[in-house]
A and B are shown apart, each in its own frame.
Chain A
Amino acid sequence: EVQLVESGGGLVQPGGSLTLSCAASGFTFTNHWMAWVRQGPGKGLEWVANINQYGGEKYYVDSVKGRFTISRDNAKNSVFLQMSGLRAEDTAVYYCVRASGSCYPSWGQGTLVTVSS
């Protein structure tokens, strides 16, 4: 069974930093692109970033470029999202997702990031 377990969310002040982690299991981690998707309170889904199987290719939505960094540790079957310069508009539930082809068939339960003073 595929499992994605996020951790690292919490309350952070504007301008602060936070690193989210996602522990993956139940599939061959190195076969899949991974991504982060977020959902602000009462809002729709917003794709944040993705990373290819060995970390050599990464893409980001414009609103987080230069502030967020996605990475992975294939030895630990984990993917990370380092977030800095956090803003109120970054407040959201962040989901770790596994890609298969063009879609995201596997989602974690999400971790809440709240940016507030």
Chain B
Amino acid sequence: QSVLTQPPSVSAAPGQKVTISCSGSSSNIGNNFVCWYRQLPGTAPKLLISDNNQRQSGIPDRFSGSKSGTSATLGITGLQTGDEGDYYCGTWDNNLSIYVFGPGTKVTVL
């Protein structure tokens, strides 16, 4: 199983808000920056948020990231159909000396 934990899926109606949690430990999230990626079907993942809360160029401010202790959260407000996809958190793990991804969360717009 994954070192990081994410909910398998979240859903909400258009215009609503969803949050995706990413839980880890002191060897990963607790002492390293967290990154958030989105993958649309049939495409390569895309970096949305770096360094816990820094939106990449071109990413709307509807997307936000935060971190507290050994957990991180991605928030998406004003949900749009184009936001559907799989979202992954990622960070370095100091004990394992590898980069770890969460198992992914599927976002569905109802």
Taking Cβ atoms with an 8 Å cutoff, the residues of A that contact B are 35, 37, 44-47, 50, 59-62, 95, 100-105, 107-110
Contact = CB atoms under 8 A, between A and B. Distances in A.
A26 to B, nearest CB: 15
A62 B100 CA distance: 12
Given A45-B37, A102-B35, 15 more contacts: A37-B101, A44-B2, A44-B86, A44-B88, A44-B101, A44-B103, A45-B101, A61-B98, A95-B45, A100-B50, A102-B33, A102-B34, A103-B90, A105-B47, A105-B56
Contact of A110 (B2, B44, B102): B44
Contacts of B51: 101-103
Interface in B79-99: 86, 88, 90-92, 97-99
Interface of B: 2, 32-35, 37, 39, 44-47, 50-51, 56, 86, 88, 90-92, 97-104
B47 A45 contact: no
Q: Is the interface of B mostly helix, strand, loop or mixed?
A: strand
Contacts, number: 63
Given A108-B44, A110-B44, A103 B100 contact: no
Max count, chain B CB within 10 A of own CB: residue among A101, A102, A103, A107: A103
B101 A102 contact: no
Given A44-B101, A47-B101, A61-B98, A107 B44 contact: yes
B50 A103 contact: yes
B101 A103 contact: no
Nearest to B44: A107
Contacts of B46: 107
A102 B44 contact: no
